Amino acid sequence: MGFPNPLIGNIVRHILIILISIFLLLFSSIFISCSKSSDDVLTSSTGLFVTVGVSGTILTSSDGTSWDNRTSGTTEGLYGVTYGNGLFVTVGYPGTILTSPEGTTWTERTSGTSGYLFGVTYGNGTFVTVGWNGTILTSTDGNSWTKRISGTSEYLNRVTYGNSTFVTVGWNGTILTSSDGTSWTERTSGTTTFLYGVTYGNGLFVVVGRNGTILTSSDGISWTSRTSGTSNSLGGVTYGNGTFVTVGYSITSSSTSTSDNSTPTITTEKSTTTLTSSDGVTWTLRDSGTSNELRGRDGGLGRNPPHLFGWNLMG
């Protein structure tokens, strides 16, 4: 879509960037087990939880209940966190990458970009982080990062690893895959909607996004649309204990006019969505018991403190 006035077009684009950034902050969470280097499977009941969020917030916990604030050295938003090869890595804006071997003392690394980094994962001996304008960076040690050619200028929201394959998803139905994190191939998703989350479990990749979109694939190449039963945007998805879980949230407002032309009554309704599936194909709506925002879900123990948007466990 083009804009007759380039200035207006740039303004609209920047507004979209801000809105998507806020959405990812509200609906992202990552949970990694170091023993499997997976984005969504907990294999140890002991270790360290690490959660990240706004204003450079990093908290750690040994039990998921009591949390300790850590010094990150940044006041910027942190959007994702992962664990692999004995190292925690968290990413954010502007091009922020921090690493820590134990989750308590953090060191800033040079990313080579000043843009948003939204997602990060570890697999096949490689850290991969993704972000705005198709940004993809890789590192074998978490310290030195190399920019890769993604082949797209779409914003990439999340990335996961499974079945010897990296999969990243983003704006306008974008799905890219890679076996090594270096060379990437665009796949046909069958949708042009925004895709917000991706996970792997039980031999299946599951992607979720706007308007209740759910896609599945066994290989990351061919994708099938599934019926979610909701029109709410789905912002996070994970797999654990034999079950896929995705969550979402929406706010709708309506105005009721009055006969005397006085100030109309504004009614706001909040709606949360929690869906589960044992196979990724058939989904069941669950009662979350709350109308508050569900900020993302990833498998494991403990609780995600409010306003914190990525979390991880070192097993």
- What pLDDT, on the 0 to 100 scale, is given for residue 141? 96
pTM: 0.78
Quick: pLDDT tens for 113-144. 999 999 999 999 999 999 999 999 999 999 99
Q: pLDDT-based confidence at 269, cuts 50/70/90?
A: low
81/83 Cα distance (integer angstroms): 7
In a domain, 12, yes or no: no
In a domain, 10, yes or no: no
In a domain, 59, yes or no: yes
Quick: pLDDT tens for 226-262. 999 998 889 888 888 899 998 887 655 555 555 566 6
In a domain, 173, yes or no: yes
- What pLDDT, on the 0 to 100 scale, is given for residue 297? 34
> CA distances (Å), 80 to each of 8, 226, 306, 312, in order?
31, 26, 15, 9
- What pLDDT, on the 0 to 100 scale, is given for residue 271? 63
Mean per-residue pLDDT over the chain, rounded? 78
Question: By residue range, what is the domain housing residue 243?
Answer: 29-314
In a domain, 121, yes or no: yes
Q: Is residue 60 helix, strand or coil?
A: strand
In a domain, 15, yes or no: no
In a domain, 35, yes or no: yes
119 within 8 A of 176, measured Cβ to Cβ: no
Q: pLDDT-based confidence at 311, cuts 50/70/90?
A: very low
- What pLDDT, on the 0 to 100 scale, is given for residue 266? 54
Comparing 164-168, 267-271, 298-302, the range with the smallest average pLDDT is 298-302
Judged by phi (left if over 0) then psi (alpha if -120 to 50, else beta), residue 17 lies in: alpha
Task: Please give the single-letter amino acid code of residue 37.
Answer: S
Q: pLDDT-based confidence at 299, cuts 50/70/90?
A: very low
Task: Please give the single-letter amino acid code of residue 185.
Answer: T
In a domain, 88, yes or no: yes
CATH number assigned to the domain comprising residue 118: 2.130.10.10
Structural domain count, the chain: 1
- What pLDDT, on the 0 to 100 scale, is given for residue 126? 97
Q: pLDDT-based confidence at 15, cuts 50/70/90?
A: very low
Q: Is residue 250 helix, strand or coil?
A: strand
